[in-house]
């Protein structure tokens, strides 16, 4: 007899089949939980032991959901090109928290002078209503 079973070794088709199977198992586990919960509620509403099968099926459904999530995450990592994956190891704390340069404000033609925003410290016109850099209401802070 001829063996018609073929196996895939870490191919794209195998990953897709794993994801499809995991999704089906997850869906079946949640459907089983719902059906058993409905039936047990109808038949054994006030019996304490009727919660045991529901709890077991709930834990099983959570386990299948976590398995599906893990396989989907692995597949997403395989599909993502290496250049688009960010390397956060080279980011230093000082470069991460470095303060961005504040945008310049519109200069005034009046002779009243300038003042600074109490929140972000950017320079603005003395009679300005809002800070041009952060949007703070300057009249409330005056």
- pLDDT (tens digit per residue) in 71-130: 988 888 877 765 544 555 555 555 555 555 555 544 444 445 677 887 788 887 878 888
- pLDDT (tens digit per residue) in 83-98: 544 555 555 555 555 5
Q: Are residues 75 and 129 in the same domain?
A: no
pLDDT at 67: 93
The count of structural domains within the chain is: 2
- Domain limits at 123? 107-142
* 47: Cα separation from own chain's centroid: 40
pLDDT at 141: 57
Half-sphere exposure (Cβ direction) of 44: Cα atoms closer than 13 Å: 11
* CB 122, CB 129: distance < 8 Å: no
Q: Are residues 23 and 72 in the same domain?
A: yes
Q: Are residues 18 and 67 in the same domain?
A: yes
Q: Are residues 25 and 70 in the same domain?
A: yes
């Amino acid at each position: 007899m001829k063996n018609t079973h073929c196996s895939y070794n870490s191919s794209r088709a195998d990953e897709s089949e794993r994801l499809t199977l995991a999704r089906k198992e997850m869906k079946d586990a949640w459907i089983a939980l719902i059906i058993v919960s409905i039936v047990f509620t109808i038949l054994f509403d006030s019996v304490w032991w009727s919660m045991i099968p529901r709890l077991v099926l709930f834990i099983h459904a959570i386990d299948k959901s976590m398995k599906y999530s893990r396989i989907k995450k692995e597949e997403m990592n395989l599909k993502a090109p290496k250049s688009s994956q960010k390397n956060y190891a080279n980011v230093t704390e000082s470069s991460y928290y470095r303060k961005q340069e504040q945008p310049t404000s519109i200069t005034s033609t009046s002779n009243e002078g300038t003042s600074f925003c109490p929140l972000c410290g950017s320079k603005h016109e003395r009679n300005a209503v809002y800070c041009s850099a952060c949007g703070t209401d300057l009249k409330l802070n005056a």
